[in-house]
Amino acid sequence: MSTEENIKEKAKIADENTGVKVCHTMCEICTRGCGIDAYVKDGKIIKVEGTKGNPTGFGYLCQKGQGTRSYIYREDRIKTPLKRVGKRGEGKFVPITWDEAYKEIAEKLNLYKQESGPDSVVFFSGYTKWYRPIYQRLIYSFGSKNYCTDDSLCYFSTFMANKLNSGITTRPDQRFSGVFLAWAFNRYYSGSIVETKRLEQYKAENGLKIVVVDPRITPASEKLADIHLRPLPGTDGALACCFANLFIEWDRIDHGYISKHVYGFEEYAEYVKEFTVEKTSEITTIPQEDIIAAAHMLTENGPMSIAEGASPLVHHTNGMQTYRAIMTLAAITGNYDRKGGQIPTNYADVSRSGDGVLEDAFALDVFPYSRGKKVGQIKYPLFCEIVEQGQDMDLARHILEKDPYPIRAIFAMGMNYRMLPADEKLLEAIKSLDFFADVDIFLTDTAKYADIVLPACSGFERGTFRNYKNGKVFFSKPAIEPLYESKSDADILCELASALGIDDPYLKAGYKACIDYMLGPTGLTVDKLQESDEQVVLPTFINYEAGTNTATGYNTETAKYEIKSKVIESRYQKYGLEPLPKYVPPLDPADPKDYPLILCSGGRLVNTMHSRLHNSKWHRIQRPQPSADIHPDDAMQRSISNGDDIVLYNPQGELHLKAHVTNTCKKGVVFLVHGYKEADVNSIIPEVYDPYSGYPGLRSARCNVRPEQGKE
């Protein structure tokens, strides 16, 4: 071999001599779906890079994507379908064939349907989203209404807030903004670094002003903030009310827009009067002068846009109304549906309709509308109505108490029981089921409780349809064959539908036929998409402009932006829900004297992703051991030094961790990354939920910290 060939071989460069081939595919460790180039030799991925020019990844991969090989080649991949032979949780299984597995699952689910009704089977999905329209069609054709997913605690509380306010979703138009309100915003860790860095450019070139509201010091607060407000977690609603009060008092509101397009303004203006700067400063701990300075900055530099946060603001027991109050700031200042403010979007996401693709119709065409209540509907009726799903927060109780009806089985796709608070109770509920099946890539702790486990392949081993938010679609090509006997989730669902005897022409015909149905109105087909190695622009994409909805009226009962929600006013007040976005403190029954600190769990780190990467060696480098961020003063008060073993405790239980003493942490708050099994933070989150959305207080639970006994 020549020196040049040798170098090429070592550098894993693709050409005929090295035998290395490149496949342009899509990273699916998170739902962004960045373009990724997989370098393949002898059926194995030997290197990955970002696809140059890709409109989602921009040629870059985040640290999670860079570690792809460590993720997909994890040793605990499930190799074949498995049947449990040991006790639930013991992890003793025997391999079975796919046909045996389908037969057993289908016989069991059909039996429960016959004996106890189709709702006695709950269909669950964790974070993974791409297969969901197929999954929903299967579930609804089977006849169950019990489709339960991570939407019970991710993003959809925000979606509800938008639905109630205006009936539309929006995005911040930062490029044309004068000021950007980056509320609970640190996309350097949770989103696209390239897109987030654009804000640095708008700051430098357009003079964009930025107010960051985040209890922590983060790259966003350091690089972007002109003003950084640091509230106690979960007190943001009070701050939003205070801003509204100041804007109204100073007459920095848009009277024309309000009189034409806003419903409930007068009543809200009266309500927010109580949120004086003094009172709000006490609630949030933000210095009074900072609140006033931020209010000036937000009103003297319009147009103002506001970040669309997926979770931190709604991971509280008061989050849905907080989010409504924050968006209301855009409405009363005339920045809603305005260039440089909030721009309407045609809501499209991995598993929801948008831009002419019929994901929702494909699923909901067969929805069993006529029948009973979903899981959680009695406690969280508003969530179940607007989001059209069961609310997971009531799942364990429902199973254990068989109230209002028995649930006999869960069929799950990528279920991690530690995703939810009070997860031990969920595990107990799972143990009590007649039957539990789980489809996952890895033999997780949850899968170990299943009667049948099915091996899914990773995104690199299948073709996947993706509808991006930017009006582009992609059908990825598999880089390698499915490892072992694993299969694509979509194929598993279509084959299971047949085994269940579901007579649906699309599920019978398979994944591509399902996607062709969804693509129908766009004129595209899977075959056409597969001809391309890149994302394809949807001919049906509508790029909304500001003022689109103000002309015709919003999608609400009054056709206005409803600060006072008509839906709540007319139908949900009897459940104790409040039509105005009023502030209530985050709820937690624990006594602040014993538990003076606030546990805020889940702020993202660059290379963690819920539970899925903690078992991947490469990804654990940044935080090899679970550790809690503590402010130096709080640490010193408790004789804790950086790196010490500590106990984080509250009435729900305790966690054993390392102390990560850092002044990026706000005093009085403890920050913790979630998803570790060795430090399962959701086991100590109290069972108190937002009555509007059912969302848990993952980011505002009372706690305390002490040094580990007997350790220096």
Ligand X SMILES: Nc1nc2c(c(=O)[nH]1)N[C@H]1C(S)=C(S)[C@@H](COP(=O)(O)OP(=O)(O)OC[C@H]3O[C@@H](n4cnc5c(=O)[nH]c(N)nc54)[C@H](O)[C@@H]3O)O[C@H]1N2
**Which entry of ligand SF4, ligand X, Mo ion, none binds 234, CB below 5 to 8 A by partner kind?**
ligand X
Q: What part of residues 105-164 is at the interface with Mo ion (CB under 5 A)? A: 154
Q: Which does 389 bind (CB under 5 to 8 A by kind): ligand SF4, Mo ion, ligand X, none?
A: none
Residue closer to ligand X (CB basis): 326 or 366:
326
Least separation in angstroms between CB 316 and ligand X: 6
What is the rounded CA–CA span in Å between residue 2 and residue 704? 64
Among 27, 122, 161, 213, which residue sits at the site for ligand X (rule: CB under 6 A)?
Answer: 213
With CB under 6 A as the contact rule, the residue among 360, 440, 516, 690 that binds ligand X is 440
> d(Cα 293, Cα 295) in Å, to the nearest integer?
5
Residue 127 or residue 176: which is nearer to Mo ion going by CB? 127
Which residue among 23, 698, 703, 705 contacts ligand X (CB under 6 A)? 698
- Nearest alpha-carbon partner for 58 in 39, 74, 34: 34
The neighbour count for residue 637, using CB atoms within 10 Å, is: 12
Q: How many Å apart are CA 319 and CA 152, to the nearest integer?
A: 13
CB-nearer residue toward ligand SF4: 61 or 138: 61
Q: What phi and psi values does residue 671 have, to the nearest 5 degrees?
A: -105, 140
Min dist CB 488 to ligand X, Å, is: 9
Cα end-to-end span (Å), the chain? 58
Buried b (16+ CB within 10 A) or exposed e, 9-19: beeebbeeebe
> Vertex 404, ends 398 and 410: CA angle to 5°?
45
Residue 673 and residue 629: Cα distance in Å, rounded? Answer: 9
Query: Which residue lies nearer to Mo ion by CB, 152 or 165?
Result: 152
| Closest distance of CB 310 from Mo ion, Å | 6
The 11-50 site mask, x for binding ligand SF4 (CB under 6 A), equals ----------------x-xx-xxx----------------
Please answer whether residues 316 and 697 qualify as being in contact, where contact means their C-beta atoms are separated by less than 8 angstroms: yes
Q: Give whole-number Cα distances, 362 to 145, 509, 613, 706, in Å.
A: 15, 14, 32, 53
Question: Using CB under 6 A as the criterion, what x/- string covers residues 453-492 for binding ligand X?
Answer: ---x--------------------------------x---
Q: What separation in angstroms does the CA of 440 have from each of 76, 81, 229?
A: 11, 10, 41
* CB-based closest residue to Mo ion: 154
Q: Kindly tell me which of 306 and 538 has the beta carbon lying closer to ligand X.
A: 306
Using CB under 6 A as the binding rule, whether residue 565 contacts ligand X is answered as no
Query: Interface mask (CB under 6 A) for ligand X, residues 271-310, using x and -?
Result: --------------------------------------xx
Query: How many Å apart are CA 234 and CA 574, to the nearest integer?
Result: 25
Q: Is 416 in the site for ligand X (CB under 6 A)?
A: yes
Question: Could you say which of ligand SF4, Mo ion, ligand X, none residue 34 binds, taking C-beta under 5 to 8 angstroms by partner kind?
Answer: ligand SF4
- In terms of phi and psi (left: phi > 0; alpha: psi -120 to 50; beta: otherwise), the region of 416 is beta
Shortest Cβ 311–ligand X spacing (Å): 4
* β-bridge pairing 227-229 and 209-213: parallel
State the number of binding residues for ligand X (CB under 6 A): 57
Query: Is residue 188 part of the contact set for ligand X (CB under 6 A)?
Result: no
Closest CB to ligand SF4 among residues 32, 315: 32
The residue written with tokens 């007040």 in the block is 573
For 623, phi then psi, to 5°, come to -135, 75
CB of 657 to ligand X, least distance (A): 14
Which residues inside 152-181 make contact with ligand X, applying CB under 6 A? 153-155
Per CB under 6 A, contacts with ligand X among 616-675 are 674-675
Residue 61 binds which entry of ligand X, Mo ion, ligand SF4, none, with Cβ cut-offs from 5 to 8 Å by kind?
ligand SF4
Burial 571-587 (b: 16+ CB within 10 A, else e): ebeeeebbbbbbbeebb
The only residue of 38, 350, 419, 473 in contact with ligand X, by rule CB under 6 A: 419
Of 131, 109, 99, the residue nearest 28 (C-alpha): 131
If contact means CB under 5 to 8 A according to the sort of partner, which of ligand SF4, Mo ion, ligand X, none does residue 190 touch? ligand X
Residues 6+ apart with CB under 8 A from 48: 27, 36, 37, 38, 39, 61, 65, 66, 68, 69
* H helix and E strand count, the chain: 26, 27
Using rule CB under 6 A, residue 492 touches ligand SF4 = no
233 scored as a contact of ligand X (CB under 6 A): yes
Instruction: Dig out the tokens for 478 from the structure.
Output: 């598999």
Burial of 54 (0-12, 13-18, 19+ CB in 10 A): buried
Tell me the per-residue interface mask from 154 to 173 with Mo ion, x by CB under 5 A, - otherwise.
Answer: x-------------------
Q: Which does 489 bind (CB under 5 to 8 A by kind): ligand SF4, Mo ion, ligand X, none?
A: ligand X
Of the candidates 400, 355, 324, which has an alpha carbon nearest to the alpha carbon of residue 579? 324
Q: Which does 315 bind (CB under 5 to 8 A by kind): Mo ion, ligand SF4, ligand X, none?
A: ligand X
List the beta bridge partners of residue 472.
Answer: 537
Residue 213 interface partner, choices ligand SF4, ligand X, Mo ion, none, CB cut-off 5-8 Å depending on type: ligand X
- Picked from ligand X, Mo ion, ligand SF4, none, the partner binding residue 439 (CB below 5 to 8 A depending on kind) is ligand X
Beta strands in 214-256 (DSSP E): 227-229
Between 166 and 616, whose beta carbon lies closer to ligand SF4?
A: 616
State which of residues 432, 606, 683, 687 lies at the interface with ligand X (CB under 6 A): 606
DSSP letter at 232 equals: P
Q: Which is nearer to ligand SF4, 36 or 429 (CB)?
A: 36
Residue 402 CB coordination number (10 Å): 12
What distance in Å separates the CA atoms of residue 344 and residue 353, rounded to the nearest whole number? 15
Q: Which of residues 234-263 bind ligand X (CB under 6 A)?
A: 234, 236
610 interacts with ligand X by CB under 6 A: yes
Nearer to Mo ion, 127 or 367 (CB): 127
x/- string (CB under 6 A) for ligand SF4, residues 53-82?
----x---xx-xx-----------------
Query: Judged by CB under 5 A, does residue 349 bind Mo ion?
Result: no
Q: Kindly compute the dihedral angle of the four CA atoms of residues 157, 163, 165, 168, in this order, to the nearest 10 degrees.
A: 120
**DSSP state string for 361-408:** HHHHTT--TTS-PPTTTTT-HHHHHHH-S--GGGHHHHHHHT-SS---
Instruction: Identify whether the C-beta of residue 326 lies closer than 8 Å to the C-beta of residue 239.
Output: no
Q: Which long-range contacts (CB under 8 A, 24 or more apart) does 638-645 make?
A: 638/705, 638/706, 638/707, 639/707, 640/705, 640/707, 644/707, 644/708, 644/711, 645/707, 645/708, 645/711
Q: Report the nearest approach of ligand X to the CB of residue 218 (Å).
A: 5
> Least distance in Å: CB of 239 to ligand X?
8
- Residues contributing to the site for ligand SF4 (CB under 6 A): 27, 29-30, 32-34, 57, 61-62, 64-65
- Residues contributing to the site for ligand X (CB under 6 A): 30, 126-128, 150, 153-155, 183-184, 186-187, 189-190, 213-216, 218, 231, 233-234, 236, 309-313, 315, 413-414, 416, 419, 439-442, 444, 456, 489, 600-604, 606, 608-612, 674-675, 681-682, 698-699
- Residues contributing to the site for Mo ion (CB under 5 A): 154
